[in-house]
Amino acid sequence: MLTQAFAQVILATEEVATTSEEADSGGGIDLLLPASEELLAGIIAFAIVFFFVWKWAIPALNDTLAARQKAINDEYEAAENAKVEAESLLQDYRSQVAGAKGEAAQIVADARETGEAVKSDIVTRAEVEAEDIKARGHEDVATERERVASDLRRQVADLSLDVAEKVVVLSIDEQTQRELVDRYIDELGGVQ
C-alpha cells in the first residue's frame, strides 16, 4: 500500500516534470505550473508529511481500526453469545413451560384420578353402610318382633297361670288340701 503511494507520488512528479517540460517547450502551460523550486519544496514537504503520516498516523489509525474491529468483533461475538444464551434460555423456558404444562396436566390427571377413587370409595362405603343399616334394620325389626312375640307369650302365659291359679285356689277345699298334703308326704317319702 505504501509502495503504491510512493509509486503514485513518483508518477505524479514525473507527470509534473513532463508537464513542466511541455510548458517550457509549449509556452502557455508554464503559466499554470509552479516554479521548480517551489515544486521541489512541495514534494519535500509532502514527503515529510507523508512520512509522518505513514510512520505514526497510519499505524495509529490502523491500531484504532483494529481495536474498533476487535471491539466490534467482541461485541458481535458477545451478541452472538447473548443470542445463543437467549436462545438457550428460550429453549429452556419453552422446555420448562412444556414441562410445566405436562406436570400440570399430570397433576390434573392425578387429581381427577384421586377424585374418582375418593368418589368411588365414598360411594362404596355409603352402599356398604346403607346395606348394613338395612340389614340392622331387618335384624332390629326381627328382634323387636321376636321380643314383642315373647312378651306377648309371657303375658299370655302369666295371664293363663294367674287365671289357672285363681281357679285352682278357689277349687281347693279342705279335702283337696289334705290330699295335697298326703301327696307331698308320699313324694317326700320317695326321696332317697
Q: Report the distance separating Cα 136 and Cα 153, nearest Å.
A: 25
CB of 123 to another protein, least distance (A): 48
* CB contact set of 29 (below 8 Å; sequence gap of 6+): 19, 22, 23
Q: Which CB sits closer to another protein, 2 or 169?
A: 169
The residue among 80 and 158 lying less far from another protein, judged by its C-beta, is: 158
Give dist(CA 50, CA 61) in Å, integer: 14
Alpha helices in 27-57 (DSSP H): 36-52
Closer Cβ to another protein, 79 or 180, answer by number: 180
Of residues 119 and 178, the one with the C-beta less far from another protein: 178
* Least distance CB 173 / another protein (angstroms): 10
What is the closest distance, in whole angstroms, from the C-beta atom of residue 153 to another protein in the complex?
8
Query: Which residues form the interface with another protein (CB under 8 A)?
Result: 153-154, 157-158, 161, 164-165, 168-169, 172, 174, 176-178, 180-185, 187-189, 191-192
Angstrom distance (rounded) from CA 5 to CA 28: 30
- For another protein, give the closer residue by CB, 103 or 151: 151
Of residues 18, 21, 13, 15, the one with CA closest to residue 39? 13
For 59, 150, 174, 177, the CA distances from 164, given in Å and listed in that order, are 148, 20, 19, 17
- For the bound state, the minimum distance from the C-beta of residue 190 to another protein, rounded and expressed in Å, comes to 8
In the complex, the smallest distance separating the C-beta of residue 148 from another protein, rounded to whole angstroms, is 16
